[in-house]
Structures are given as structure tokens and as C-alpha cells.
Amino acid sequence: MSGGTLTPELRRRLLGVLAVWLALVLFAALTVGTAYIPLGAANMAINILIAAIKAVLIAVFFMHLASPYAVPRMIGIIAATMLIVMFALSGVDYYTRDGRPDVPRAGAPAISR
């Protein structure tokens, strides 16, 4: 890169990054726009879908998961698996609670043994 000119490879990479950046800005604006449209429960579903699309764009283009090397893909798979495990453990914890507090109330009679 001498004399301030861009090589064709650098120009291609810059245009790719710019296109992904514009897509992310568009999806961010779309997320803000859906907040002003009264769709009820569909707002959350649409925003989760938009967030998933943005996450895929970031993972593929900026984390280089589309590269021919296996290490970034393995790290991405392990991270996604751990995220799923954490969500599953949180769900199991939430659904197995009985709703009763472990600490007795102040006015509750004492249990003698």
C-alpha cells in the first residue's frame, strides 16, 4: 500500500466490513422502530429475531467463523453450547422451585421437636 492507494484485496475487505456495518445499523434502527409499533407479544419475538440475525452477522464476519480454520468455529461451538447449558440450568432452577421461602415468617409459630 504505497502512495495511498488501496489494493484490490483491501478494497474488497473494506467494502465487506462496511456492508456488514450498514446491515447492523439498519437492524439496530429496525429494533428501535419496532418499539413504536404496537404489536403486543410479537414485538418481543421480532426483536429476538433481529438480535439473532445481528449476532450471526457479528459471529460470521467479525469473529471469522466463516474462515477455513477450525479453531474459531470450535470456540464458537463451545461458547454456544455453554450458553445453552446455562440457559437450561437457569430454566431447571426456575421450574423446580416450589415458591415457598426457606426462612419462616416473623409471626409464624415456632416448631418444637
The pLDDT value given to residue 96 = 87
Q: Is the same domain home to 11 and 47? A: yes
Mean model confidence pLDDT for the chain: 88
12 lies in some domain: yes
Answer with the residue of higher pLDDT: 102 or 93.
93
- Supply the pTM of this predicted model: 0.67
In a domain, 77, yes or no: yes
Q: What is the pLDDT of residue 65?
A: 85
Residue 26 lies in a domain: yes
CA dihedral 26, 28, 33, 36 (to 10 degrees): 180
Provide the grid cell at 14.
473494506
Which of these ranges, 17-21, 22-26, 44-48, 72-76, has the smallest mean pLDDT? 72-76
One domain, residues 52 and 77: no
Helices (H), 35-105: 42-57, 70-95
Q: By percentage, how much of the chain surpasses pLDDT 90?
A: 56
Q: Dihedrals φ, ψ of 13, to 5°?
A: -65, -40
**Is the pLDDT assigned to residue 72 strictly greater than 90?**
no
Q: Which three cell numbers stand for residue 94?
A: 426456575
pLDDT reading at 1 higher than 50: no
**Average pLDDT, integer, range 46-63:** 93
